[in-house]
Structure 1
Amino acid sequence: MRDETDVVVIGAGIVGLSTAYALSRQRPGIRVTVLEKEQGPARHQTGRNSGVIHSGVYYRPGSLKARYATRGAAEMVRFCAEHGVPHEVTGKLIVATGREELPRLHALVQRGRENGIPVRELGPSQIPAYEPEARGLAAIHVATTGICDYGAVSRVLAESSKADIRYGAEAGLISRRLGRGVAVRTKDGTVVRGHVLVNCAGLHCDRVARLAGDDPKMRIVPFRGEYYELARPDLVRGLVYPVPDPAFPFLGVHLTRGVDGGVHVGPNAVLAGAREGYSWPVVRPADLAGTLAWPGFWHLARRHAGYGLGEVGRSLSKAAFTRAVRRLLPAVREDDLVPAPAGVRAQAVLRDGTLVDDFLIRQGPSTVHVLNAPSPAATASLPIGREVARRVLGVLERG
């Protein structure tokens, strides 16, 4: 089979579907074909996170993360309300439990205000008014943080985009058509021809870029985030976070009440043995070899060995994980933590070991690659989709 379309999108996670949705709104009648190797949307990063609508308080002012998260949070709340998607604006606490964290907490206050986010500073006696079981030396309350069901958001985007979405369609080969765009052959032999290719392949985005003949100048290193469910959800009213270390792109073990009323605890961050390695036994030799062959991984490992060993320790020891949680909520006991499904973060790493901190979108003559879109990408998915759509339409207009 050979099919003609205007735009081929690889990946039916929330960013790929937001792109298709934005294209349909910016140019009605445009033909968009979405190829997804799984049997439904949002099966990986989108459907395996804690469901937080991030306010944007953490991100460097002026960065894509800051701009898109602050804008995207308000848009996501409106989108959920308009389409009947379960959501709630809960607010959250970021709690400092050690004196060394206080300067970083104050820096977050300043950063939040620079990003236009209402932030309230709290002393230790004020914390229980928001979270009765939380303890700390100080905290900040961020009122605009919320929660939603990103799987449901993705299904609405898929339906509303009017795109031709093909599940079970894994890209096998990609070729450039001289002056006429790209052709993608799926592993079942179908060929889809389009003027522009959009790579929203998440955990496999670097591979798809290379398949298309573009050098992404980075590699995805997969980090598994392991979660527990809190057996006593009444211990938490909303969202409770530690003060993050700015040297790492991870927010630390936190507690998040979901739209179903349950409370997720986690995640940690350990190197995964596969791009889709959701547990320790899942190891794919080709995936692991690809990680180990990338020079940036070894630079990263040497630079952050201590941090990484701590994460592995919390992964292998439930007692160690519990101690991390008890810094925020002393009432939590080890038997309160029930294992829950894990997620894998697609972290872009440069050759020199630098962890790409911001969203990364690169463009070729007939390609647009989304190469780094970890949290808060789900929150920011509507603005990201519009930005990718803008670039796609620019390629189409240039012919």
Structure 2
Amino acid sequence: MSESIITHSRPFRIAIAGAGASGLACAEALSRRGAHITLFSSGPAGQGALAASGGMLAAGFESAFEATEIAAFSGIAFRALSLWDDYAARIERETAQSIGYERAGSITPAYTPDDVNRLKAAAARAQAAGIEVKALTGEAVRSSEPALAPPLEALEFPSDGQVDNRALGQALRAIALTRGGVLHQDTPVIAVDSDADGSWVETRRGRERFDAVIVATGARLPQGLSQTLPRPTPVKGQMIAFDLPRAEAPRRIVRGLSIYLAAKPGGRLIAGATSEPGVDTPGTDDEAIARLADAACRVLPALKDRPVVERWSGVRPRVGTGLPVLGATQMRHVFIATGGYRNGVLLAPAIGEALAGAVLEGALPDWSATLRPLAPGGDNG
């Protein structure tokens, strides 16, 4: 258990290194509890992996198909999902902005016998973990999602949903500033340090002291902390967007076995994503973009006559078995929130809740017991 800083009579001064999904969620949770927040971002706040993501809230699909440790992952994933109704309502109420939050479910179509076998295995895994999943016939899919290429079968995860990730980043940034927070953009944290009285961050501005520091810098840890924790692996993802009227798009998000599709506000349909472990170079390449477009058109034939109107990439941090790493580090008054990987947006409200507890009360919530940081080389899953 880390030491609480709740005994201070003045507002706690907390620095957050990183202004992506995790950093902004921590800022929201802590400022709501009265802390004074200073955010340091290596670029514009809310950009990076958050702006590059798909905005998926796919706890069901990710647990059934992707999680290495389904019990541990589904625990935090569904905890986070349960917070999203109130979280989205609070953000939209406070900013008077829509963040495109919806929970229409996700659908995973199968187009080959091998796909069908993968769906059966995932359904069995989900059911064993108590996750709601529905098996759909090809006819049922054709009736409910006529825009999709007709599949043999499909799975539906009714509780899954999505958010407009770019609008979310803008809204959380606005909340941080409205609540009196300070934002230093284009100011990466170079190093962190601590002593008995608090913690320090070092940037090009110099060294600044705070009561506590939360490191939410994704795949790149600042000096000092990088020697005490497992190093996140960068995983590059490339994505594309098409212009497609909402009426012609699938009603649910499509979590295919080789592509995902999601209709966003304003007639924008996104498709992604590549997965390139160990790669953190910016930009896109024509071959990867062509593969994404081809896969998207096979699942959604209406895209064949529509050009790709946007292409981009982002880097997601993966640690160990793919679970996030949250809580106190071996450095006093220094905390970590990294490893959101494919689910940084989904997990954001839970990460904020967990770090607020760790910083202000000295302990992570019980549901996050498996997510504490370990020493280098440890199995942080």
| Pair in the same fold by TM > 0.5 | yes
Conservation of the 8 A alpha-carbon contact between 2:238 and 2:311: no
Query: Which of 346, 358, 361 does residue 323 from structure 2 map onto?
Result: 358
Cα deviation, residue 49, structure 1: 1.6
Percent identity, please: 18
Cα deviation, residue 194, structure 1: 1.6
Cα deviation, residue 213, structure 1: 5.8
Distance 1:173 1:224 in 2: 25
Task: Give the aligned residue type for 2:15.
Answer: V
Distance 1:175 1:55 in 2: 33
Q: Deviations over 1:7-66 (max 9, x none)?
A: 2210111211211222234xx433332212324x21111112222222333214754531
Question: What is the aligned partner in structure 1 of residue 205 from structure 2?
Answer: 188
Question: What is the aligned partner in structure 1 of residue 236 from structure 2?
Answer: 223
Q: May I ask how many residue pairs the two structures share in their alignment?
A: 338
Task: Please show how residues 5-16 of structure 1 align to structure 2 within 5 Å.
Answer: 6-16=13-23
Task: Please show how residues 1-399 of structure 1 align to structure 2 within 5 Å.
Answer: 6-25=13-32, 28-39=33-44, 41-59=45-63, 60=67, 63-84=71-92, 85=98, 86-134=100-148, 135-160=150-175, 162=179, 164-168=181-185, 170-189=187-206, 191-204=207-220, 206=221, 208=222, 210-212=223-225, 214-231=227-244, 234-243=248-257, 252-270=258-276, 274-275=280-281, 277-280=282-285, 313-315=287-289, 318=290, 320-330=291-301, 332-333=303-304, 335-348=305-318, 356-361=321-326, 363-366=329-332, 367-395=334-362
Task: Give the aligned residue type for 2:46.
Answer: A
Distance 1:274 1:62 in 2: 27
SS of the aligned residue for 1:388 comes to: helix
Conservation of the 8 A alpha-carbon contact between 1:58 and 1:111: no
Q: Deviations over 1:109-166 (max 9, x none)?
A: 2343455443221111111122113221110122222222233334443454535232
Cα deviation, residue 231, structure 1: 4.7
Task: Give the aligned residue type for 1:152.
Answer: A
SS of the aligned residue for 2:201 comes to: strand
Question: What is the aligned partner in structure 2 of residue 295 from structure 1?
Answer: none
Cα deviation, residue 378, structure 1: 0.6
Conservation of the 8 A alpha-carbon contact between 2:47 and 2:169: no
SS of the aligned residue for 2:308 comes to: strand
SS of the aligned residue for 1:380 comes to: helix
SS of the aligned residue for 1:384 comes to: helix
Distance 1:70 1:127 in 2: 25
SS of the aligned residue for 1:118 comes to: coil
Q: Which runs of 5+ in 2 are unaligned?
A: 1-10, 93-97, 364-381
Cα deviation, residue 76, structure 1: 1.8
TM-score by length of 2: 0.77
The 3 A distance-change label for structure 1 pair 339 and 270 is: farther
Task: Give the aligned residue type for 1:90.
Answer: A
Distance 1:83 1:395 in 2: 26
Distance 1:170 1:236 in 2: 40
Distance 2:173 2:111 in 1: 42
SS of the aligned residue for 2:123 comes to: helix
TM-score by length of 1: 0.74
Distance 1:177 1:365 in 2: 6
Q: Deviations over 1:287-323 (max 9, x none)?
A: xxxxxxxxxxxxxxxxxxxxxxxxx9544xx2x4444
Conservation of the 8 A alpha-carbon contact between 2:14 and 2:36: yes
Conservation of the 8 A alpha-carbon contact between 1:196 and 1:395: no
Task: Give the aligned residue type for 2:58.
Answer: H
The 3 A distance-change label for structure 1 pair 93 and 175 is: closer
Conservation of the 8 A alpha-carbon contact between 1:42 and 1:154: yes
Distance 2:194 2:80 in 1: 36
The 3 A distance-change label for structure 1 pair 16 and 387 is: same
